[in-house]
Chain A
């Protein structure tokens, strides 16, 4: 036991207090730890790689239906069943079949050509039916299956969730709690002590980084041991990218919280800041899906840079030098947001 008359350094006490409040808040723990794991499990299972492409195909009942069914039954990786003519639309809409065959000479295919799996079904079925009708293949190519590590959806998803988590924990953990302290007049109470304002801000950052170690560690370890998500790059690179990302969102969070007086007010601002990035920054699907015209904006968003960098480290093994663009962008967001936030921060 230390001398009770001696007191710890204010930065240590402020950091401890903040860290304690964070880990004693069940909701915060849920969003920081449980939610990303649930998302990984749910999406990892839903979008797991299908066992070597089983293609469900429906055949409309009628004169030559039995013939078509027999031909497809011999085709590899096709699962065939028959439906009534009235069921065609419902079958396609609900994804029960990727393609509907209307028997005839020649047969007709009903499918949605904008869906890749439907186009795949058309190729497979057309080949099988033509082969059954007498076409002969020129050769049988040799297939050499290769499993690329990090090529599955879950591998791609986990860095996205990690980035999203660093953003949202940063926003709520830093900004929201500052506004709560302001609205409860605790910030004013602290200003009425000899506390140095710089100590308060250093403690904000220190507690955020301590929490970051836990949240990144838990998700990366879980994803690795349950789903086999790789970490191709170095731990050091992962840590650096995470810290730079957390700092950028810490700054943005402080900026959103620098003036707000109520929990409702800051919640609104934070959603306005976060939602576009959830959608555009490539958490669940590639941000390259958006039109070229908006790409400059999307690429300038901090979450896009953070997720690109995390994917680079985890899936590609990129070095920090290779990621200097993303890291530089996040650093820029950090400096700019802290500079403005400190200038306009309301201490009362």
Chain B
């Protein structure tokens, strides 16, 4: 009975929000007293959206992403992922997470690294091999499966870590400044590839960044945040089309959105 109710309720929510935060607060207890990392955050993310979180350091954007992934635990308010608590969603393997550094295990080959989450989740050997091949292809690393991480460039390592997050086909991809440590040219290329990947897979993506052009270029929704306490100051629905060549960054629309993001960031700073 309880299970049936739960299932029908889940079906309802599946078609609705993927991630929903209501009145979310998160306070860290530190030696210098409590730090209000997130204050009264309300946000709804729908299936297939590409949502960027932008703001200066300390604004809680990474904390919010980590809270979605159940790596941090909110102090008050509600946060649901696919209608479940973040912890339940984590155990259901609802998301892939990409960190700022690739974080590949040096004792495993690229293919071995991508296979790791699959091993943990108990996929069959044939299924693992097939999935590894597929995601390597998806991030254009076919043929590099037998290399070790330290034999590849930083950009390739980061692509491998994205492949690893994609391997088990979670509906949600959470990316925490995945390209922050890479140079401009590699970054442009990976941004383009990320958009293509998103178009091909239809996943819901949460993306933390410092860069205004990156946020505007990638997102369907831009969440502008400000620090002390970490809070949302603006949510911008992007009018840009889904198909985005790199040149779109010179268009008037693009520049207008970037302007609005910058204003939002500045307003957040003036509040202090």
Query: Do A and B belong to a common assembly?
Result: no
CB within 8 Å of A: which residues of B?
Answer: none
Which residues of chain A have a CB within 8 Å of any CB of chain B?
A: none
